[in-house]
Amino acid sequence: MANPKFNSKSPTIKRILREASELSNSPSADYQAAPASDADLFDWHFTIRGPPNSSFGKGIYHGRIVLPPTYPLRPPSFRFLTPSGRFEVNREICLSISGHHEETWQPAWGVRTALVALRAFMETDAKGQLGGLECPVKERERMAEASSLWRCASCGKSNVDIMKECAEAVKEKGEEKEVVVPSDLKMGWKDEMNSVETKHPAAEGRNIKILRSKEVEEAELAEGFVRTTGNDGPSDYPAARPAQGVTQPTGSATARVQPVITQRIQPQMAQRSNDGVPIWIDRMIAAICVLLVAMVLKVLLGF
């Protein structure tokens, strides 16, 4: 599935390839998801069965997943392409949104967890949410009956054909993987999130920064890459201390020369402008500009 144009060392690409491989090697008879093509790993399609013992129970629904460039730090977006009577067709919805704040998304959840949650959320009421639909039970059942033969123009397969392939893969692989929806995973609507003003008082700025740092750390943990020191501040580890019982050199040549070097370098480093250019270069440029202006005035005034 890897494509030469993708950076295989990127944590985002590694995560996407890992999830695609895991979904393929551990299939489910109730849902399926994979990149729509090798040309774009951020554009996925999914197919899910409706939750049993509901008006969607006989339905099979197809949709699209768009992974953000910063995945898994930000949640994927989902939209249904098959009419369901619960969600508007081709209207984006978002998972893992608590109170319309993406900060509740956990990078460890992934596409599989979101699909299982989305399937369970189909039985909830729209409650006037943007993009949600309130349809009579009979109408939803009619749509569920017709959904099996719905065919995606991009995938080229009907919903029932995709689910048959999933069922055969489950039989071939053996036991199906069970996924439990986290209790704190909730659903919100992207349209509502964009319309709600997000307020972050200055006093909360430091907490927001810490939260983002935690998300980055969780993503790196998922990829097996963890920073031991931060880029924005000192290391979390204490400074090294001399070993007890070991005499430290005090009169060596290195000990005598080091303070002299430090004293000479530090003033030079301090004499820099805001953009990192040494002060003497700025002064030389200013002097040249003054001379050029003087020469132009001399020519114009006829001196």
> What positions carry a catalytic annotation?
94
**Whole-angstrom distance, CA of residue 262 vs CA of residue 260:** 5
The string of DSSP letters for 144-193 reads HHHHTT-B-TTT-SBHHHHHHHHHHHHHHH-SPPP-PPPTT--EE-HHHH
- At position 80, the amino acid (one-letter code) is F
* 249 upstream amide cis, omega within 30 of 0: no
- Residues whose CB falls within 8 Å of the CB of residue 69, separated by 6 or more in sequence, listed in order: 12, 42
Cross-strand pairs, 33:
46
| 3-state DSSP helix/strand/coil % of the chain, to nearest 5 | 40, 15, 45
What does the alpha-carbon distance between residue 223 and residue 15 come to, in Å, rounded to a whole number? Answer: 7
| Integer Cα distance of 249 and 253 in angstroms | 10
3-state DSSP assignment of residue 147: helix
What is the largest distance, in Å, between two alpha-carbon atoms of the chain? 99
| Euclidean distance between CA atoms 147 and 14, whole angstroms | 34
Determine the number of helices (DSSP H) and then strands (DSSP E) in the chain: 8, 6
Please provide residue 129's backbone torsions phi and psi, each rounded to the nearest 5 degrees: -65, 145
Give the residue carrying structure tokens 């489950």. 170
Would you call 235 helix, strand, or coil by DSSP?
Answer: coil
Task: Report the alpha-carbon distance of residue 169 to residue 175 in Å, rounded.
Answer: 10
Token code pair at residue 90: 């081709």
